[in-house]
Amino acid sequence: MLRGLYLASTGMLVQEMRQDVISNNLANATTGGFKSAVATVRSFPEMLLQRLEKNQAIPIGPFSPGVMVDNIYTNTEPGPLTETGHATDLALVQPGVGVSPAFFVVRTPGGEAYTRNGQFQVDPGGWLVTAEGYPVQGQNGDIYVGTTDFKVDAGGRILVNGQVVDQLRVVTFANPALLQRQGDTLFTAPGAQALPAANFQVKQGWLEESNVDLARELVDMLAVLRSYEANQKVIQTEDQTLAKSVNEVGSLR
């Protein structure tokens, strides 16, 4: 009977974590370059139950102690592009299907980070930075443009007054699954090596939108809610059964 309580409680905890992931996706549905996340679920390893009878272990059968969140997977599929007309807005386009995603490189206090959010700006010092103020990286380090009147060609070369001043660092990873989310649109790669990206194009005056599928997220949210309520009802039923066992079974009247 207590096993039912354990199973239902693990189910509720899993649904709570899935709900947190879905809520974060919905909150960032309009965040440029945001990549949605999916919580994958698996069961705990099964155990073989046995009973001891006359000093002999007699198998009863397998028992699963519940479920757990196995991993939170990041969907790195590109989002749709929107034309803004702003010179500081940049988007990465990669022809083909199933191509490992490319990322802009930015410098943060904790080291290099990677993003698909190309909503950049020029700070008062003339440096190209992210909305958080992190310098965008070129082949020569921090990129100095001095003005918003600059051009970026398809290969990522930055031209000011017709002169090439730097070229954007655009990288990719052999295994994007090793990337770790750092905030809403930044990723770090402690267990992976950044490789120079190839076969990409930079579009100036365009932004990549979030890849969150609103309809799918709302459907998943309803499914999570129903699963949570079902596990909740199981716990209520088990609690009532336990109460009767304690207060009524075997009582003398």
pLDDT by residue (tens digit) across 57-97? 888 777 677 787 888 889 989 999 999 999 999 999 998 66
Name the strand (E) or helix (H) holding 166.
Answer: strand 163-167
3-class SS of residue 10: helix
Taking the C-alpha atoms of residue 222 and residue 18, their distance in angstroms, rounded to an integer, is 11
Give the three-state DSSP class for 232: helix
> 88 and 145 share a domain?
yes
CA distance 138 to 125: 17
Boundaries of domain holding 25? 2-75+213-247
117/191 same-domain check: yes
Question: What is the per-residue pLDDT across 3-45, written as a single tens digit (0 to 9) for each?
Answer: 777 778 888 889 999 999 999 999 999 999 999 999 988 877 7
Identify the pLDDT of residue 186: 95
Least confident span in 64-73, 175-184, 209-218: 64-73
109 and 8 in a common domain: no
* Number of structural domains found in the chain: 2
Residue 252 maps to a domain: no
pTM of the model: 0.81
